[in-house]
Amino acid sequence: MERRPTIMDVAAAAGVSVATVSKAVNGRYGVAPETVDRVLSVVAELGYESSLIASSMRSRRTGVIGVLVADFEPFSAEILKGVGQALSASRYDLLAYSGSHGTAEGWERRSLSRLSGTLIDGAIMVTPTVVNVSTDVPLVAIDPHAGPADLPTVECDSFGGAHQATRHLIELGHSRIGFIAGRTDLRSSIARDAGYRRALVNAGLPVDPALVGSGSYRQDAVRVAALEMLSRLDRPTAIFAANDISALEIMKVAAELGLDVPQDLSIIGFDDVPEASAATPALSTVRQPMQTLGAEAARMLLSLMQGETPAATHLKLPTRLVTRGTTAPPA
């Protein structure tokens, strides 16, 4: 009887270690994509069967759900916690995946092409750069693209949260309120811009283009916009940032310019990531339920994977204003 191939046979044929084969066939982190492709080719050629990949080839199921993120920053980390909690009672494992070019438009398509049908049974895309993706596995988008997507989506009330944040600053007595915007291709970023503007208009205050900067959720761009805004003779007395990481960067810029927060400048963010409450002073912000976003997306995806119709395919969760130490009446 012909001997069944072993994992050592696969390693020898692929020219890699046994540990690398194990990581590759089980979809674990730390193996280059080209190495994964080579290992899986050898697996198929030799007929190696004692692995997740081999069993998934037979059943067309891997028992793994992928979460695709552009980067492992605080927002996506909280999303992953929520997804993990929702999957804890299921039979599915979680694969967190960040493409090597996560900031480039369309990176999700390449990643899904690499993962679908081989490593994952379904996927959740966080802040995708694409409107729709053609794939063989069910998909759900968290904080979706601004385009008219057909994908099921989970997001928060960004317009309402931005309106709350700006109104809070107005009620404190601020009339020159800046705004550092996020990514222009995300529906949430557009809604936060609109909420900021609506609050100003409702209060009878002008929207000054000089007080609106583009941060794109990138710290370097936020820094440039904040420096420009805060170096003006008629600088704002308060700034609303489209996310907490941007707000924390503005705090750094203010300190470098010798501005006291909140005496000289009030700052409020959006998200309520763990770093917000740990800052000095603690950051006022709009709390969106990030872990709940992840959990709801996971539940929606599980329903789709089971051939069911979810109760809702476009879910919007409420936000809540959290006031801390970075907002105060103008001096």
SS3 category, 257: coil
What is this structure's pTM? 0.81
Whether pLDDT at 54 is above 70:
no
The string over 214-234, giving b where at least 16 C-beta atoms fall within 10 Å of a residue's C-beta and e elsewhere, is: bbbbbeebbbebbeebbeeee
pLDDT for 314 equals: 93
CB of 177 closer than 8 Å to CB of 206: no
pLDDT, tens only, 170-182: 999 999 999 999 9
pLDDT, tens only, 70-124: 889 999 999 999 999 999 988 899 999 987 555 567 888 888 877 876 788 999 9
Q: Indicate the average pLDDT of the chain.
A: 90
Whether pLDDT at 142 is above 50:
yes
At CB < 8 A and 24+ separation, what contacts does 203-208 make? Answer: 203/167, 203/170, 205/170, 205/175, 205/177, 208/176
> How sure is the predictor about 315, in pLDDT bands with cuts at 50, 70 and 90?
very high
Which uninterrupted H or E stretch holds 93?
Answer: strand 93-97
pLDDT, tens only, 213-256: 999 999 999 999 999 999 999 999 999 999 999 999 999 999 99
**Among 144, 165, 101, which Cα is nearest to 321's?**
165
Amino acid at 112: L
* Across 49-63, 120-134, 186-200, 280-294, least confident range: 49-63
